[in-house]
């Protein structure tokens, strides 16, 4: 893992957006894996700015989202399709036919999960997957105890996730108990991952993900097996990392290489 620690969520999101933009400019038909929630909002805002102000072109990009609540129609204000439309898709020139969010109203979730996996494969696989992380270290809706080889499937949400997401619904009772989600194994097949985490409430999960043992109880820790992961943090989310000084040294080495100071 490459761990990048920025001074704020804004700077971290700008760093992530620059990586996304570099890929889209190099590969206009890039396949992006997208996430929802509060963490990627500033990233999406920066991508919108880059599209509207710098001409970043998404017209040939295809996207696949990580997950969706079961039972919510696409028009529901808390559905992830609605989230993506309002916070990214309608502000850029992506072809909405090339955007994919799991169907929370599928009748046969086992079959649908296989179909979603097949769509990803047929598109050529995900070039860059954006990830957030839960306070218990889960990625997508792969709650603690999920198989590290899991595929897109139905998943029951943990009580901690329900409590955390209640702020979006008003009460815990209104939060759906089921979701359809890409599996850990699906995520690990992405060519590159960016894991974003901001705020002190994510510090323990980040320390366990980056420096702890690989365990199904912290599904984010499976990213240690991935060949190309960039973890972008702010100071608060990085506060429990034990090897902070080393990560800073690595970034300084990257900076010197890019500037030509080291040849």
Given this model, what pLDDT does residue 168 score?
87
Which residues does the annotation mark as catalytic? 67, 136, 138, 143
Given this model, what pLDDT does residue 156 score?
96
CA 6 vs. chain centroid, Å, equals 18
Domain coordinates in residue numbering, the chain: 2-259
For the whole prediction, is pTM greater than 0.85?
A: yes
Strand arrangement, sheet containing 128-131? 2-5, 229-233, 193-197, 128-131, 31-34, 62-65, 99-100
Given this model, what pLDDT does residue 263 score?
62
CATH 3.40.50.1360 fits 2-259, yes or no: yes
Given this model, what pLDDT does residue 259 score?
80
Give the residue from 68, 60, 65, 27 showing the smallest Cα distance to 44: 65
Low-confidence ranges of the chain (pLDDT < 50): none
| 149, two tokens | 């080889």
pLDDT digits (tens, 9 = 90+) for 38-69: 999 999 999 999 999 999 999 999 999 999 99
Give the residue from 37, 39, 178, 40 showing the smallest Cα distance to 105: 178
């Amino acid at each position: 893992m490459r761990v990048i620690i920025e001074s704020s969520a804004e700077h971290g999101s700008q760093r992530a957006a620059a990586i996304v933009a570099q890929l889209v400019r190099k590969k206009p038909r890039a396949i992006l894996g997208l996430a929802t929630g509060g963490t990627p909002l500033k990233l999406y805002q920066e991508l919108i700015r880059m599209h509207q102000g710098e001409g970043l072109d998404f017209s040939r990009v295809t996207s696949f989202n990580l997950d969706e609540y079961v039972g919510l129609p696409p028009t529901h204000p808390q559905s992830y399709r609605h989230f993506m439309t309002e916070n990214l898709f309608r502000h850029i020139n992506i072809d909405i036919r090339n955007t994919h969010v799991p169907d929370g109203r599928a009748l046969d979730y086992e079959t649908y999960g296989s179909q979603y996996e097949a769509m990803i494969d047929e598109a050529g696989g995900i070039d860059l997957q954006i990830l957030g992380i839960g306070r218990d270290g889960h990625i997508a809706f792969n709650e603690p105890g999920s198989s590290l080889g899991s595929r897109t499937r139905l998943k029951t949400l943990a009580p901690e996730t329900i409590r955390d997401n209640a702020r979006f619904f008003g009460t815990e009772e209104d939060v759906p108990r089921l979701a359809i989600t890409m599996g850990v194994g699906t995520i690990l097949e992405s060519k590159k991952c960016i894991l974003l985490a901001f705020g002190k409430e994510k510090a323990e999960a980040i320390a366990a993900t980056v420096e702890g043992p690989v365990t199904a109880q912290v599904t984010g820790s499976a990213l240690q097996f991935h060949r190309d992961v960039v973890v972008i943090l702010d100071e608060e989310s990085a506060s429990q990392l034990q090897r902070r000084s080393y990560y800073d040294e690595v970034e300084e080495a990257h900076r010197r290489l890019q500037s030509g100071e080291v040849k």
